[in-house]
Every structure is written in C-alpha cells, then in structure tokens.
Amino acid sequence: MQRPLISLSNIGKNYPSVATGGNRLRTIAALLFKRGEVPHFCALQGVNLKLKAGESLGLIGENGAGKSTLLKIIAGVVKPSTGQVVVNGRIGALLELGSGFHPEYSGLENIHLAAALMGMSNAEIDSKLDSIIEFADIGTHIAEPIKHYSSGMVVRLGFAVATAMQPDILITDEVLAVGDESFQKKCIRWIEGYLSQGGTLLLCSHSMFHIQTLCQKAVWIHDGQLHMYGDSFDVTREYLTYHEEKNSKAAHLEREVLPSGVYQIRKLWLENDSGNVTTLVDIGGVLRICGVAHSPDDRPPVILFGIVRADGAPIYGTHSNETAYLPNQIAPSQYGFCVRFSNLQLLPGKYTIRAHAMDPEGLRLFDTVSTSVRITGQTRDYGLCRLEHEWMAAREDFIAMEDN
C-alpha cells in the first residue's frame, strides 16, 4: 500500500490574541507565569488530510480562513498547536515573496542561499545554476541586491529555484497571481510537465481556473476547518455558489401571505424526465418546472417564470401566453402547469427559479415563489450558459480582407 507523502491528523493552530491592551497583559502574564489560559484565536481546528504521490490538490477559501497557516504547517515553517504532521518527501515551498532570500544579497547569491535551504548540495546548485538563471529571466538584475527587485522579479527567482530542485512535493501560495502573463504561462507549463512526470502539487489560489486546470482534487477551508473535499470541479463550483449567495442582496426571497382572492402560485417543484422530484440536473439534461396556481375566478392564469443565478443575475424568463399555453384545470380554482427543458445548457452552479402568477390578461403580477436547482458537470466554459457553436477553419481570404 502506497504511503501518503503528506498526512495530517487533527491539525489545529492557535495564536495568542493581543488585539486589545487587556489581552496583551493577560497573554504576557499567562506566558510568563504559566498560569491561566492564554487568550487566543483559533486559526485551524481538526484538519485531517492525506496527499499521495502524483496527486494534485488545490486549497481554496476566503482570506483569513487558515489556508496559509495550513501550508506553513505542512512546509515545517510553523508548528501546529494540536495534531500530527507526517511528510515523506522533499518539499519545495513558495509561500511568501522573498521567503528564504536575504535582501542585501544579490540574486545570484540568493540562489545559492535558497537552494541550500531547500536541501540542495553545492554540486547540485552549480550544475543547475545556468538553468535557474535562464528560467528566472531577470537579465542583469541577477547581480543586484534583491531589495531593489519588484515583487514579480522576486517570484521569478523563487520559482526558478524550485524548478531546479525538482521536489517530491511542490507547495505554492498565490505565486501565479504575481508575475506577468508570460511568466505565469511559463510557470503553468512547468507545473503541467512536473505533474505529468509524477510530481505532487499543493496549490493555494483564489483563481478557480488554475485550481480546475492544475488540480485533480480541492479542499475548501472555511473558518479554520475543512469544509469540503472532493473533485476540483465540484468543490470550486460550491465555493463560487457560496460567494454568489453571499454577495446577493436577494439570496432568499420570503413569500408574502396572500389573500385567497388573488392569483397565486400554490406549489412549485422540479422534476426530471421520469417525473421524479429533483434539485440536481446535469448540464445538457432534462428539467421540468412544475406547479399549481390558484385562480380566484376560475379562469386560467398566465404563468411567468424566470431563471436567475444565485447572486441575482437574470438569465432567462418567459410567460405562458407567449405561446398561447393555458394551464390545465386539475380542481376547482386550481390549475397545473409544466415547462420542459429538453437540453438545459446552464453552466454548472446553483440557480434560482422563480414562478409568478398573473391575471388571465397578463397585465398584473400577484405572486412570486422560488426554488433552486444545481447544475452539475465539468466544463471550463465561462458565463452563465453554453451556446451551440463549432470551431471552423479560417477562410483563406481573411488576410486579403484585412488588407482592404
């Protein structure tokens, strides 16, 4: 049985709380006299995780969730307050700008310093020095003190050293968000090659594209705890949905209690093509929006429905009298309706479906009821929905057209 390269068991990390003067005094007293509980805040709690050789794991979460603390614990920079960390392999960690670099030393001197700290011998460093300098691509600045470097140049140098090291486990914390676009592409190409050769990656990023592209699995850290672990597409989709709902001013609609004398939606549910109630649909699958509307004068009402993203962005809507559709009467003053999507091309995520009851003339809107659906599947398309398209060969007269 293959043993994991990284094994975390019940990892927790507490930091002394010194935000106020009172806390500072209590913290100092507790540390000096070993009495009383040290005021603290919990950065991580109860994290269990394993990473095997050849796996790629993305780490996502809001700022302050505990991601960087977890990476530092794995890299051995910070000791956990509780739990056990087992690492079986050589780690290459790019956690902070300039980590392991001395500001007064030149770039060349810092290559030797950083490589030595990563466990490389002098012979290894000398044999790979030219490739490190070439990858960093910072020109004559390599001979200058790095205190004069831009943040992007520091990242270039740090990543170049990591590429030469060929670690068993590569840990990166947002380094791809700092360099220019050409260097980002170079880094991604290197990481893809590293993974194809059996390398193991732990990538912390706010870019869901990078997580989906480079990582097989993903972990969502929320308030210091492991909130979700699984396929990178599934975890990033849930994380984006969380933010859409968080930022929405109308994440949850409360239904008014309406008098019986007005048109209203009494029931609303979703079905698959087999007639089973569902809230999950694969992209390109079949979805039915079904419901029961009340009519106070026993005339068939007009039904209006709309689909919006979790943050309230409208996607599509229409009403029943657009196609002269009439809900069928199923009981006195009760009318049933059903809308079927045979090839639902919403992109993966969570969506809200709203149904409204209108008078038979379609002039007055009386009621709003909502439910939600999750679209599942894997795609790197952007936006809200997928449009039918095909890639074609360019016409040979494009250049002539451009010249004219």
Tokens of 159: 């990543």
Angle at which helices 122-136 and 107-117 cross, to 10°: 130
Q: What's the pLDDT at 221? A: 94
Q: Tokens for 88?
A: 């079986």
pLDDT at 1 over 80: no
Q: How far apart are CA 294 and CA 105, in angstroms?
A: 78
Cα–Cα distance between 239 and 237 in angstroms, integer?
Answer: 5
**Among 313, 323, 317, which residue's Cα sits nearest to residue 305?**
317
Task: For residue 100, name the pLDDT band (cuts at 50, 70, 90).
Answer: low
Most confident of 253-262, 351-360, 395-404: 351-360
pLDDT band at 251 (very low <50, low <70, confident <90, very high): very low
Query: Distance between CA atoms of 73 and 80, rounded to whole angstroms?
Result: 6
Q: For a pLDDT cut of 90, what percent of the chain falls above it?
A: 29
Residue range 40-52: average pLDDT?
89
What is d(CA 185, CA 62) in angstroms, rounded to the nearest whole number?
25
Show the beta-strand stretches assigned E in 240-378: 264-271, 280-282, 287-294, 302-309, 314-319, 328-331, 334-341, 349-358, 365-376
CATH superfamily of 264-376: abc- transporter (atp binding component) like domain (2.70.50.60)
**Mind giving me the DSSP string for 134-186?**
HHH--GGGGGSBGGGS-HHHHHHHHHHHHHHH--SEEEEESGGGTS-HHHHHH
Number of alpha carbons in the 13 Å side-chain half-sphere of residue 179: 23
Residues contacting 78, CB < 8 A, separation 6+? 13, 69, 72
pLDDT 10s digits, 184-243: 778 888 888 889 899 999 999 888 878 888 899 999 999 999 999 999 988 988 887 787
pTM of the model: 0.62
**Alpha carbons 65 and 108: distance in angstroms, whole number:** 36
Tokens matching residue 311: 């943050």
Q: What is the mean pLDDT of residues 66-75?
A: 90
Residue listed under structure tokens 């449009």: 387
What is the arrangement of strands in the sheet containing 40-51, beginning at the earlier edge strand?
Answer: 40-51, 6-16, 82-87
When pLDDT is averaged across residues 125-135 and rounded to a whole number, the result is 88
Say how far apart CA 277 and CA 245 lie, in whole Å. Answer: 24
Please tell me the predicted confidence (pLDDT) of residue 25. Answer: 61
Task: Give the class (CATH, top level) of 6-247.
Answer: alpha beta
pLDDT at 12 over 90: yes
214 vs 244, residue with greater confidence: 214
d(CA 155, CA 183): 10
% residues pLDDT > 70 (the chain): 85
Domain edges within the chain: 6-247, 264-376
Query: Which of 171, 158, 71 has its CA nearest to residue 115?
Result: 158
> What is the per-residue pLDDT for 262?
82
Which run of H or E residues covers position 46?
Answer: strand 40-51
The two three-digit tokens of residue 19, written as one number = 């935000």
Cα–Cα distance, 260 to 246 (Å, whole number):
34
Q: Environment class of residue 18 by beta-carbon count within 10 Å: exposed (0-12), middle (13-18) or buried (19+)?
A: middle
Digit-coded pLDDT (tens) for 256-308? 445 567 888 999 999 998 889 998 999 999 999 999 999 988 999 999 998 98
